[in-house]
Structure formats: C-alpha cells, structure tokens
Amino acid sequence: MKMGLNALLDIELTVPNPSELESFWNRRGLVTTAPGQLGTAERASQLRLREGDYRHVSQMRVACDNESDLLEIANRLEALGLTCTRGDAWLDAVDPIQRHSVRIEVATAAPLAPRSPRQMNGPGELVRVNRRSEAAMKEAMPTPRRVGHVVFGSTDVARTVDFYTAGLGFKVSDVIPDVGATFLRCSSDHHNILVLPSPVPCMNHYAIEMNDFDAIGLRGVEVVEERPDASVYGIGRHVVGSNIFWYLLDPAGGMFEFFADMDQITDDSLWENEVRRDDWDPFTVATYESGTSKMDFFLPTDIEDIARGRERAGL
C-alpha cells in the first residue's frame, strides 16, 4: 500500500493550565508564534495548547502528498466502518479509542536546516584545538528542532493500530509482541506514533527532537534545575529506533522526551524484508541508560485523573 503520508505536522495538547506549559516551553527555546501555538523559525506550529480539565492529546495534524490520498483514506476508513469529514485539501477522522481528532492535510513539512558543524576531538583526531567546546561553555543554548512523535496507551492496541495503518496509511516499523507495542511511521522517522497497552486511553509522552547528545543534556539539566524530580528516565540510547533519549516531566504532569539520532527509513522494501524485527526482548528498552526509570515511563501517575476526565467528557 502506498503510504501517501509524509510528515507529522504538530500535536495539540489540552491541559488545565496552558499558559504555564507555554511559559515552560518558551524557556526551553520554543517560540509563541500565534495564540496557543508554539514553534520555531523553521516550523511555526509544533505544539498547540488548549485549556481543559484533564491532560490529553486533542488533535494531531499529519501531512499527505495530494488530494487523491485523502480520497483513498476516506474509502479505507469507510471500509473499517469509520466516518470522516472532508474539506478543501483536508480530512478529519477520530481515533476510535483515544477519541482525539486526526487531521490529514495536503501539505509537506518545512525542511529543517542541517545541524551547524561542530568541531569535536577524538582518538587520533585533533579537530578542536586551542579552544573550549561550545557545549562546555554554553556559548549558545540549543533549541528544539521539531515534535517528532507521540506515544499513546490504548485499551485496544489492535484496533488503534488498525485505524492508523489500514485506515490512515501509517506503516509498521517494529513490533514488541510480548509488550503489545507497535511502532508506526508516517514519515522517514522510525516512529511518529507508538501504541502501548494501557488500562485507560492516554498519552504516554510526546517527543521533541534536539540536535545531539549535548543539546539533550543542556536542556534536560535545565529542566531538572527548575524541578529536581522532573527526570523520569535517561540519558540513554534506545534499541528499537536507536535514538538517544531523556524522559522528563513538564509542568502539566505530562512526560516528554528529548531525543536525537533516530533511525530513518527511506527504503520500505529493505526495512520490511531485512531490518524490521518482531522478536524484541521486551526488557531491552535501552542499549545503555543512566538508571532505573520511574513508573511514569510505563503509565502516567495521574492515570486516575485522566480516567475521571474522560468519564466527564463522556468518552
């Protein structure tokens, strides 16, 4: 099946105090580009914030190549017994488990400039000489590059995966069957969505791409300096997806991940036939990491508040 999808454009978070979360991300380097919208000079919309009585993802925006892709998606959703709404170069569907909106737009994400070259020394390589590292001296604090993925806990993983794959056209990158985890992509990223089992539908975390290890470390430490208990897991490097990670908590109580150096898939046939695996050890989360994760890594500690919020919303 031709994917047709090409990018995760942004996500909308609904939280009780969006101004607090906006200020938090302003301090990390995201800019308020419009009311309730955070982004960068390259991509004006990365995170959108709304006020609500419990924390959840309320919308995702995904890009597709052309109008014919929207028609194919509408037909596939109908075959699954799901409805959608179509407009001029867009389509709205509702995740059947999470109940958030997924908008598919005919668009492409603005290209990102490559990282600025950095001089780094290594064995037998004297590259940066007679000067200190810019990371050591904090010459310029790194800024987030983009929102890369979001992870959902689902009470019906198979149905959620079916909605995103058979319905919207996401592709499966890897599966951890013993956990019930499925990694899905709508771009060259190894995953733009990960679906995990959960007793209550919820967002597990959202992920912000940084340039490199130093960028993750500098901004992550900044978060911990403001809130000593904010670190959940990391720094480390995942096995599935290969990305460097540091999981932290934002002021709304949501977990987010600073990440860098994720696997990129540009040849679907090569990946599907030679690289993809469905036999991962469920306990091998990281090839290295700095310590045991907190429980937030597996399930939000405010899951009961989320359950009550969903009940109030009639979900």
Name the residue ranges covered by the structural domains of the chain: 5-109+143-312
CATH class of the 5-109+143-312 domain in this structure: alpha beta
* Backbone CA torsion sign across 63, 154, 147, 235: negative
Average pLDDT, whole number, for the chain?
A: 95
Rounded mean pLDDT of 73-78?
96
H or E stretch covering 270: helix 268-270
DSSP per position, 155-182? S-HHHHHHIIIIII--EEEEEETTTTEE
Rounded mean pLDDT of 125-145?
89
pLDDT(2) > 60: no
Distance CA 216, CA 209 (A): 9
Tell me the percentage of the chain whose pLDDT exceeds 90.
Answer: 87
Are 193 and 150 within 8 A, CB to CB?
yes
Rounded mean pLDDT of 100-123?
93
pLDDT(105) > 60: yes
Distance CA 176, CA 196 (A): 10
H or E stretch covering 60: strand 56-64
Rounded mean pLDDT of 106-130?
91
The pTM (predicted TM-score) of the whole model is: 0.95
CA-derived radius of gyration, the chain: 19
The pLDDT value given to residue 224: 97
Alpha-helical runs (H) found in 12-148: 18-28, 67-79, 134-137
Contacts of 199 (CB under 8 A, 6+ apart): 155, 299, 303
* Strand duo 202-209 + 255-260: pairing: parallel
Are 200 and 306 within 8 A, CB to CB?
yes
pLDDT(136) > 90: no
Hey, what are 283's tokens?
A: 């306990």
Q: If we measure between CA atoms, which residue out of 181, 154, 193 comes closest to residue 61? A: 193
* Backbone CA torsion sign across 215, 221, 224, 230: positive
